[in-house]
A and B are shown apart, each in its own frame.
Chain A
Amino acid sequence: MSETRTIVPTTDVRDVEAGLDALQTKAPGPGAAARARHNAGKVIAPVAALVLLVLVWQLYVTFTQKRADLVPGPLDVASALGALWAEGRVQEAVWTSVQRGLIGFVVSAVIATPIGLLLAQVKPLRNAFGPLVSGLQVLPSVAWVPAAIIWFGLTDATVYFVLLMGAIPSIINGLIAGVDQIPPQYRRMGRVLGAGRWAMALQIVLPAALPGYLAGLKQGWAFSWRSLMAAEIIAVGGSMGFGLGSLLQQGRDLADLGTVMSAILLILAVGIAVELLVFAPLERRLLRGRGLLNGSTL
C-alpha cells in the first residue's frame, strides 16, 4: 500500500519550514552601535536635566537677591557640602545610613518573602492577614518611632524596627501582587506536566511572579530608606550612630541651611544611585528576557 496523498517529501518540508522560521523570526535587535547610542542617551538626558535645574536655581537666587542663609544657592550648598566633606562628616553619615538601609532591607526581604509566598498560596491565611498587611503598608512607619523609642531607647534597634515595619509589608504585598498576576495557563500547564505542590511553588509560581516581586522589592527599598530617614531625624543621640537623618536634624538645630540642603541632596543622591545601579539593571534584564520590554520606555 503506497502513500497516495500528494505529500511533500520530508526533506522538503524541513527546508520550507526552515525558510518560514527565518521569515517569521524577528530581525536581530539593534546593533552594538545603536545600543551604545541608546545607553549614552540614558546618561546624557538626566545629566542635562540636572544641569538645567541647578541653573534655574542659581538664576533664581541671583536675580531675587534673597539672603544666602535663608535661600542658599547651588554654590553656597556646594561649599557647605565641601566643608562637611573635609570634616569627614559626609562620609560618616552616608556610610552609617547606607549600611543600616542595606542591612535592614536584606533582613526585610528575608522575612517578607516566605510570608508573601505563604499568603499568596494559602487562601485562609490570605483572607485572615491580607487586609492587615495592606493596612500596615498604608500606615506611615514613622508612626512607630515613639513606640520604638519607648521599647528600645535611643539605640540602633529603634532605627531597625521602624525600617522593618516600613519595608516588610510592601515587599509582602509586591510578592502577592506578582503571584496574583500569573496567567492561569501557567499553573494549568504545570499540573499537566505533573508538578506537585513544591515544584509548582518553586519552579513555576516563584519565577512567574518575579517581575511583581522585584517591583515589591524596589518599593520595599524605598520604604526602608524613607523610614530610616524618619527614624534618624527623630531619634538622635544615645548609642545611635550618626546618619544622614541625624545630619539633617543637626543642620536644623543650628539653623544651618547649607547643611540641611546638603543632607537632603545626599539622601536624594543615595536613593537615585541605588535605583540606577541596582534595581534598573535588574528590572531591565528580567523584562527583556521575557520579551516585555519592546515599546516600553525603560
Chain B
Amino acid sequence: MSAPAAPAIAPSATVPPSAASDDPAIAIELSGLGKRFGTAAPVLDDVNLTIRPGEFVALLGASGCGKSTLLNLISGLEAPSSGAMEIPADGAAFMFQDASLYPWLTAKGNIELALKLRGVPRQERSAKAEELLHLVHLSGAGTKRPHELSGGMRQRVALARSLAQDRQVLLMDEPFAALDAITRDLLHDELERIWRETGRTIVFVTHNVREAVRLGQRVVLMSSRPGRVVREWQVTAAQKTPEAAANLAAEITAELREEIRRHV
C-alpha cells in the first residue's frame, strides 16, 4: 500500500466518511476552543484545529500544554469552557499510556467486554475478538491474563480493544511512552499498518518529537500554559526517509525548545 501524498490533498475515496460533521471532509473541527478548571488559569485557550477523516495527526508539546485535556474534550469525557467543536456524534475510542486492561478478564475477555458494551450480540463477540487479536498479531494470547503479558503485548490488546469500539476516531494519549525502545519501534510499524488497514482517524499525543515525525502525516506543536496551536508541519512521504525525518525532527525540536524557553 502506498503512503498518501502530501496531506494537503483531500482524503482518498478509501477513507470512510466521518460519522459526525456535515462536511464529510472534516472529522474533527475545533474553533476557538478553551478549557479552564474553576478559576485557575486556562489550560487550553483558543485552540483551532481541523482534522480530516483518515488523517494521522501527531499532537506534540511539553508538559502542561493541555494535550491530555484536549483529548478528553474531543472524546466527550469533559466539556469545553468556551469555543465550538465539531466531533463525531458517537464519540471516540481512547487509548491511554497505561493499557488499563481489566485484570480479572483474559486478553480476549477484555476485547469482548468492549464489544458487549457496544451492543454486539453475544454469538458474534468471540469471532470478532479473535479477528481483532489476529490484527494485532496476538492470536495465540487470547486466553492470557493481562499480568501474563509484556507491556508491549498489553498495549496491543488495548489497541485491539479500542478498535473493537468501532469508532472512526481513535485518540491515543502517549500510548507507547512507558515501553522500551525496541518494543516502541515495533509498535510504530504495527500502528502504521493498522491505521492503513482500518482507515481510522488518529490523534496521537506525544512529547517525543521523533515519534511524532515517524507516525504523523501532520505534526501539530502546542504551547504550554495556556495550550494553543503554535505551528504545524506536514510530513510528506518523502520526509519519512531517515535523513529527512532527522532534519525535520531537529527543526521541530528547535521550535519546541524555543517554546519551552518562553516559560523561564
Contact = CB atoms under 8 A, between A and B. Distances in A.
Q: Are A and B interaction partners?
A: yes
Interface of A: 1-8, 10, 13-14, 16-18, 20-21, 24-26, 185-186, 188-195, 199, 203-204, 207-208, 210, 289-292
B189 A24 contact: no
Contacts of B138: 21
A192 B102 contact: no
B153 to A, nearest CB: 6
25 contacts: A3-B2, A4-B240, A5-B240, A8-B189, A13-B189, A13-B190, A14-B137, A20-B150, A20-B182, A21-B138, A21-B150, A25-B150, A185-B98, A186-B100, A186-B102, A189-B96, A189-B102, A191-B77, A192-B75, A192-B94, A199-B117, A207-B102, A210-B104, A290-B104, A292-B103
Contact of A195 (B98, B103, B117, B186): B117
B103 A290 contact: yes
A208 B93 CA distance: 22
Contacts of A292: 103
A193 B101 CA distance: 12
Interface string B126-146: 000000000001100100011
Interchain residue pairs A-B with the least CB separation, the first 4: A291-B147, A24-B150, A5-B240, A290-B103
A21 B117 contact: no
Contact of B104 (A6, A18, A25, A208): A208
> Interface centre among A1, A10, A26, A199, by most B CB within 10 Å?
A1
Contacts of A195: 117
Nearest to B180: A24
Interface in B84-120: 91, 93-94, 96, 98, 100, 102-104, 113-114, 116-118
B10 interface: no
A292 B113 CA distance: 22
B113 A203 contact: yes
B5 A290 contact: no
Contact of B183 (A20, A185, A194, A290): A20
Given A17-B190, A210-B104, 11 more contacts: A5-B241, A8-B189, A10-B193, A13-B189, A17-B186, A24-B150, A24-B153, A25-B148, A188-B100, A194-B91, A204-B102
Contact of B152 (A6, A14, A20): A20
Contacts of B186: 13, 16-17, 20
Given A20-B183, A20-B186, A290-B147, A1 B5 contact: yes
Contacts of B193: 10, 13
B234 to A, nearest CB: 15
B151 interface: yes
Contacts of B114: 193
Nearest to B90: A194
Contacts of B102: 186, 189, 204, 207-208
B237 interface: yes
B178 interface: no
Contacts of B241: 4-6
